[in-house]
Chains A and B, each alone.
Chain A
Amino acid sequence: GQNIDQPTEMTATEGAIVQINCTYQTSGFNGLFWYQQHAGEAPTFLSYNVLDGLEEKGRFSSFLSRSKGYSYLLLKELQMKDSASYLCAVVDSNYQLIWGAGTKLIIKP
């Protein structure tokens, strides 16, 4: 079967750095997305990785290792508005998105 694993919840302090991990086992791989979702709202796109390595975009960076079936989202200089759920999703061989359950990130002052 197909499986995406992420921690259920994480807590971090304003101004700090946090890394959210995602491991996957899917039938084929055509890229991995990270989305941010605030409560009661639809997900918004953060990043897309299809090759190994680190993609940096402002305060957010995303890393991918296809051989390990592993990705992480790194958030720097945390702000209170970063409190949200972060969803990892993998594009499988049928070009369908397989979603993780999401990681709820709580930012404390």
Chain B
Amino acid sequence: GAVVSQHPSWVICKSGTSVKIECRSLDFQATTMFWYRQFPKQSLMLMATSNEGSKATYEQGVEKDKFLINHASLTLSTLTVTSAHPEDSSFYICSARGTGEPYEQYFGPGTRLTVT
């Protein structure tokens, strides 16, 4: 149980375009989903926290107009990187938290974004 999927697993896009990444909890209801970014050889950096049906809470320094997060249902959250630039190239990982768990986050497999 507690499986989280991400789609796509990798994507290459041109500078200036937008990319949407989906995060789904497959066998549980995710009341909260988290979006992380990880640069090579660095730890996870939390970008934003989203609760189903409400606006996402962004971490300091993360542009909410650039990284659009939607959490429309208890099983789906999306991250859209708008007007992507090469410096947005990174490994994006989502995680989901259900109810009744010891605050464990179940991670998706990640999405490798390369902006050319």
Contacts and interface: CB of A to CB of B under 8 A. Distances in A.
Interface of A: 30-31, 33, 40-45, 48, 50, 87, 91, 95-97, 99-102
Contacts of B104: 33, 45, 48
Interface SS, A side: loop
Nearest to A48: B102
Contacts, number: 40
Given A45-B106, A97-B105, 16 more contacts: A30-B103, A31-B102, A40-B112, A41-B110, A42-B93, A42-B107, A42-B108, A43-B44, A43-B93, A44-B107, A45-B104, A48-B104, A50-B102, A99-B44, A101-B42, A101-B43
**Listed residue (A43, A50, A87, A96) with the most chain B CB atoms within 10 angstroms of its CB:** A43
A31 B103 contact: yes
B103 A40 contact: no
Interface of B: 34, 42-44, 46, 49, 91, 93, 102-110, 112
B102 A42 contact: no
A30 B101 CA distance: 12
Contacts of B44: 43, 87, 99
A42 B109 contact: yes
Contact of B103 (A43, A91, A99, A102): A91
Contact of A43 (B46, B107, B112): B107
A50 B103 CA distance: 11
